[in-house]
Amino acid sequence: MAPPPEDDKGIPNETKLWRRIPPGSVVDDDSVPSGRRPSSANFNWPELSAVIASECPIETLLKDHETYGVACFTVAEIRAFGWGVIRVPDPELPGHVHITGHRGKKNQNSKKRGDIAKSCRMIRDPAPLGP
């Protein structure tokens, strides 16, 4: 059995996290209240990063990424999937964190990535893709 993912228990469960969502990475989904959500591919990166919302103004998060959207989810939602959250300092992104434990068993984590995509809330939609 794999060891549990690294997790900073000093980050409270109710902490809101923001993740940038690139243009063209939102899908229609009638099962979510807004009818649109980020594609699960947004949560399939080797280093899944986010920021602590209370520590990083949205303008800072979107600097040089003005066409991106922003998805919000909580640390509790991440931990419910058996994943962890750790601080990874970034001089350009205050409150920068990595989500740990999301890599591994392909089928199991693929479903979890879809579940987190469905559970997060869009704070800002990305710009539509150009022609």
Q: Which tens digits make up the pLDDT trace of 70-97?
A: 999 999 999 998 889 999 999 999 999 9
**Based on the structure, what is the number of domains in the chain?**
1
* Domain hosting residue 89, numbered range: 16-124
User: Among residues of the chain, what percentage have pLDDT more than 70?
Assistant: 88
Q: Does the CA dihedral 80-23-90-63 come out positive or negative?
A: negative
Domain membership flag for residue 119: yes
Domain membership flag for residue 82: yes
Domain membership flag for residue 130: no
CA 98 to chain centre: 9
Domain membership flag for residue 9: no
Domain membership flag for residue 49: yes
C-alpha to C-alpha distance for 131 and 117, rounded to whole angstroms:
26
- pLDDT band at residue 131 under the 50/70/90 scheme: low
Domain membership flag for residue 2: no
Residue 101 corresponds to which amino acid?
Answer: G
Domain membership flag for residue 5: no
Domain membership flag for residue 54: yes
